[in-house]
Amino acid sequence: MGQQTGQWFGLIALGFASIYREGFETVLFLQALTLEGTVTIVLLGVGLGLALTSLVGVAVFVMQAKLPHKKMLIVTGILIGAVLLQMVGHTVNILQVIGWLPIHPIRQLELPYWSGFWFGLYPTWEGIGLQLAAAVFVIGSYYLAEYMQRREQYRYTAAR
């Protein structure tokens, strides 16, 4: 009974921490936007975002039986991976600009300005290298999880 109580407590604590963190992050983000614009503009944006989110929520509930959930999860995972690569590229560039990372340009690679602005692709060995490392880590962790799952299934069927 004690282990089950501990698991429930852990799940509740994780849920609370996740929701609290997202709420705190949202408040900080909205405060920063209010400093740049006016309260009216921010409230209009929040209202528009809430309305669009509500429309998407209603659409999902209405079409839930017909939605291709597996395909949606795959597309979402790919988009999150793309955001990760973009964030790594921008972070490396910022660390290079402030002097915390060295800059070794790739002389043979000429990229337009928009590739850095939109995709975080800057022609430096550090930027491209760390983006590749992040991609290898994510893809490798997927294949490692698949391998571990297959191995566990094999053990389960072999034990029968």
Query: How confident is the model over 117-135, as pLDDT tens digits?
Result: 999 999 999 999 999 999 9
Q: Are 73 and 64 in contact (CB under 8 A)?
A: no
Mention every residue, 6+ apart, whose C-beta is less than 8 A from residue 96. 102, 103, 124, 126, 127
Supply 143's token pair.
């294949």
* Residue 30 · residue 42 · CB < 8 Å: yes
pLDDT digits (tens, 9 = 90+) for 25-82: 988 888 888 888 889 999 999 999 999 999 999 988 888 878 888 898 999 999 999 9
- Residue length, the chain? 160
Return the pLDDT at 1.
55
